[in-house]
Amino acid sequence: MSEIRRLPAIIVKDAALLPGMIVNFTIIQKKVAASCEEAIKGDGLVFVASQKAPSEKVTKESLYEIGAVAFIRQINKLPDKSFQVMLESKVRARIVSVDADGGFFVDVEEVPDDESDIDRIEKEAMLRYLRELFLDLVSVKPGIAKNASKNMSDTESLGSTVDMIAVNTPLPYETKLMLLSLTNVRDRYEKTVTVLNDEIQVARVKDDLKNKVKEKVSKSQRDYYLREEMNSIRKELGEDPLSEEQELKDELEKLTASDEVKAKIEKEINRLSTLRDGGSEAQVERSYIETLLEMPWDKMSEDSNDIVKAKEILDRDHYGLEKVKERILEFLAVRTLTGKGGGPIICLIGPPGTGKTSIARSIADALNKQYVRVSLGGVRDEAEIRGHRRTYVGAMPGNIANGLKQAGVKNPLMLLDEIDKVSSDYKGDTSSALLEVLDSEQNSHFRDHYVGIPIDLSEVLFVATANSASDIPRPLYDRMEIIEVSSYTENEKFHIAKDYLLKKQFEKNGLSEKKLSVNDAALKKIIASYTREAGVRELERKIGEICRKAAREILEDNVKKVCVNSKNLTDFLGKEKYRRESELKTDKTGIARGLAWTPVGGDTLQIEVNIMPGKGNVELTGQMGDVMKESAMAGISYIRSVAGKYKIEPDFFEKNDIHIHIPEGAVPKDGPSAGITMATAVLSAITKIPVSGRLAMTGEITLRGRVLPVGGLKEKILAAKNVGIHRVLVPEENKPDIEEISAEIRENMDIIYVSSMNEVTKEALVNK
């Protein structure tokens, strides 16, 4: 029975002090610090006990029975009034009793190692085996102190050797606590051997895993190495968590695509698994795979073949546009009979504001197709159509591939908006890139540079829009079926405003028919006096302006309903912007009215001519284009050839200068349509015969005085009608075009067909 001694106690948490260990502790509690200072004054011994669980009061039951008697080698007082203590563990001891009232003191009895039941031969075998195991552990765990093996060879005590190994081996706290509690040397030896064998095996397995990983990656790929090591460990443990690659493969299984496409995507997924996670190359590859998985390779939506319903939707959304609606219904009928989803590429050409874009959306609704809009206005880079090659940083798919990805199906309606606005530069010809897209013979294997896999566009219904056919490159123009969306008449604008625009603006501005009313006379006055356009965009803005002012009036003045009529319209829109030019309807010398077509609709041109003494010079002003200048010179040449008929002096053209001017000089003008108008104005100025102010004309002139046909007649006749001109001279060869114009436009119009300048002068010159 060992002697029972009273020693100051140091209580530790999550720590076990084995004999032979040297450790540092920071002591905060004043009682413990005082006990340690007393111990220093005596023999310097303290007892270190491990606490089972945190408790308010230290009792024998709250501590592990076996602890260690330690010698205080050094104690230092810190600035925060705590103490830093260095302890050297000497021997095991068992707690007999605990006194925590006046300080932390315990009564303990030492538990010396008893090796009497082990004979000399067995003890020597145990020591040798322990040392061999420890050397094996040192070889697989280089971090263990090498001098520990030398110290072990100097002692013949089995218990001390076991404790020394436990002290110098990085073991968990629980394992060290268990070894501390084993007072029987044989039991402690057997447990230590088991622990060492386990540590050696774990270390060897870990080394094997490291070697396997190193065969796959270089030393610089530390992040990848850690991930591979973790995956290898999980596989050794029988765990196989769902990886990112597996998630991508699961998505691939759900993808509706051909075997060739799936094989390509699977190859890219396998390549991703070999790349360093988090690296830039892996990020690029991951984005590429996600793009491929989002593409609708063989996924299609079910289209509607109900012609009656389609007609109802088109009539509901748009007033007029009979030719457009008729062509769409024809397309639907043919597709229903053939069972094919593709079709011709339709191009809607017309002035701004005539509803080309909204027609495309209505077509999509009528056919129950997904709708995608691709804006081509200002596109200069070919890569925006075909995509960037993946060798470039920041590469991405082109607008066509992106449109398909956005639609989610391979048979959407894709609107190519403003196809006449594409341009070319050093980065490539954008219009040429569109040729493959819009060629039904080629687009079944359209290749986007980024996607890299042929994309089938044959099921896509392409609808293009443009303001001017002349601005579309000829090869592109030939691949499309042209449908003209021409200017609206005043009557059409009235119906559009009444049936569509008013409802739309009411909803947009929080109004209803109970709060605001705009009568028919007011709508007609807005069209005639506040707008002058081919479409209805400005008309919609004016209606919106009325709605906003009405909303303010309702809230500010607490008015129940606002009524707008032709008399109070100026209160909402201000003074009239456009007026009938009555003064221009008077007969004047040297002034003739021409008709012109512009991308924004028809317009009238007032051509003025002055004759001045000079040297035979011809001055052309008003920003005329080359074609218009040539028409002016051709008209003058014709007049010189018939000078005798009009009794013009032979030397008139040598002694006088001719100045031809078209007002609104800031606006560029070109085209041959003003040929007969300029010739008429010049002849009037020379002969002093007035030109009828109630007449307008259009037509190209030749040197021999023939009148050639021109285009854009619907817009031109509408322009004349809008300014109150009801007599129009039109080339004879344009008669079939006039017959195609609706009766509403031709109503009250006196259209005179002319084939030569003789007929023109007969109708245009007054009192001839």
How many CA atoms lie less than 13 Å away from 304 in the CB half-sphere? 17
Residues catalogued as catalytic: 673, 716
* φ and ψ of 737, to 5 deg: -65, -40
92 neighbors 66 (Cβ within 8 angstroms): yes
Predicted confidence (pLDDT) at residue 544 exceeds the cutoff of 70 = yes
Which pLDDT score is estimated for 261? 82
Which of 101-115, 391-405, 688-702 reaches the highest mean pLDDT?
688-702
Predicted confidence (pLDDT) at residue 484 exceeds the cutoff of 60 = yes
Which pLDDT score is estimated for 582? 46
H, E, C per residue of 179-238: HHHCCCHHHHHHHHHHHHHHHHHHHHHHHHHHHHHHHHCCCCCHHHHHHHHHHHHHHHCC
715 neighbors 698 (Cβ within 8 angstroms): no
Identity of the residue numbered 743: A
Predicted confidence (pLDDT) at residue 594 exceeds the cutoff of 80 = yes
Which pLDDT score is estimated for 428? 63
Closest C-alpha to 749, from 595, 577, 527, 600:
595
Identity of the residue numbered 396: M
* φ and ψ of 526, to 5 deg: -60, -45
Helices (H), 217-321: 222-236, 244-254, 259-273, 280-294, 307-317
Q: Are strands 727-731 and 750-754 parallel, antiparallel or unpaired?
A: parallel
CATH architecture of 490-573: Orthogonal Bundle (1.10)
- Is the domain defined by 307-484 classed in CATH 2.40.110.10? no
Helices 307-317 and 356-367, axial angle in degrees (round to 10): 150
Cα distance between residue 123 and residue 130, in whole Å:
11
Once rounded to an integer, what is the mean pLDDT over residues 155-167? 79
Cα distance between residue 188 and residue 92, in whole Å:
13
Confidence of residue 697 (pLDDT cuts 50, 70, 90): very high
Once rounded to an integer, what is the mean pLDDT over residues 395-416? 86
- In this structure, what DSSP letter does residue 734 have? G
Place of tokens 């085996």: 129
DSSP codes of every residue in 429-480 = EHHHHHHHHH-TTTGGGEE-TTT-SEE--TT-EEEEEES-GGGS-HHHHHTS
Cα distance between residue 99 and residue 8, in whole Å:
10
* Number of Cβ atoms within 10 Å of the Cβ of 710: 24
Once rounded to an integer, what is the mean pLDDT over residues 191-209? 83
- Identify the CATH assignment for 4-110 out of 1.10.10.10, 2.30.130.40, 2.60.40.10, 2.20.25.90: 2.30.130.40
Identity of the residue numbered 557: D
Closest C-alpha to 91, from 23, 19, 24:
19
Which pLDDT score is estimated for 160? 81
Q: Could you give the angle at the alpha carbon of 369 between the alpha carbons of 364 and 370, nearest 5°?
A: 95
Q: Where are the domains positioned within the chain?
A: 4-110, 244-294, 307-484, 490-573, 582-764
Which pLDDT score is estimated for 234? 58
- In this structure, the dihedral spanned by the alpha carbons of residues 152, 155, 159 and 160, taken in order and rounded to 10 degrees, is -70
Which pLDDT score is estimated for 241? 45
Confidence of residue 754 (pLDDT cuts 50, 70, 90): very high
Helices 626-641 and 675-687, axial angle in degrees (round to 10): 40
* φ and ψ of 48, to 5 deg: -105, 115
Which pLDDT score is estimated for 708? 92
> Is 535 in a helix, a strand, or coil?
coil
Closest C-alpha to 457, from 382, 345, 539:
345
Of 339-353, 489-503, 540-554, 574-588, the one with minimum mean pLDDT is: 574-588
Once rounded to an integer, what is the mean pLDDT over residues 269-288? 75
Closest C-alpha to 632, from 689, 589, 670, 687:
670
Cα distance between residue 551 and residue 565, in whole Å:
16
* φ and ψ of 299, to 5 deg: -90, 125
Identity of the residue numbered 247: E
The token pair at 536 is 């209805």
Predicted confidence (pLDDT) at residue 275 exceeds the cutoff of 80 = no
Predicted confidence (pLDDT) at residue 99 exceeds the cutoff of 70 = yes
pLDDT digits (tens, 9 = 90+) for 217-244: 555 466 666 666 766 775 666 645 446 6
Which pLDDT score is estimated for 221? 62
CATH architecture of 582-764: 2-Layer Sandwich (3.30)
Of 112-126, 184-198, 224-238, 729-743, the one with minimum mean pLDDT is: 224-238
Average pLDDT, the chain: 82
The token pair at 477 is 């123009």
227 neighbors 277 (Cβ within 8 angstroms): yes
Element holding 629 (H helix, E strand): helix 626-641
Which pLDDT score is estimated for 16? 82
Which pLDDT score is estimated for 610? 94
Element holding 125 (H helix, E strand): helix 120-140
Predicted confidence (pLDDT) at residue 342 exceeds the cutoff of 70 = no
Residues linked to residue 415 through DSSP beta bridges, in sequence order: 373, 463
Which pLDDT score is estimated for 741? 79
Confidence of residue 8 (pLDDT cuts 50, 70, 90): confident
Which pLDDT score is estimated for 617? 92
Cα distance between residue 764 and residue 768, in whole Å:
9
Once rounded to an integer, what is the mean pLDDT over residues 274-280? 66
> Is 70 in a helix, a strand, or coil?
strand
The token pair at 33 is 């610090």
Q: Could you give the angle at the alpha carbon of 141 between the alpha carbons of 139 and 146, nearest 5°?
A: 65
Of 159-163, 643-647, 708-712, the one with minimum mean pLDDT is: 159-163
Cα distance between residue 248 and residue 199, in whole Å:
39
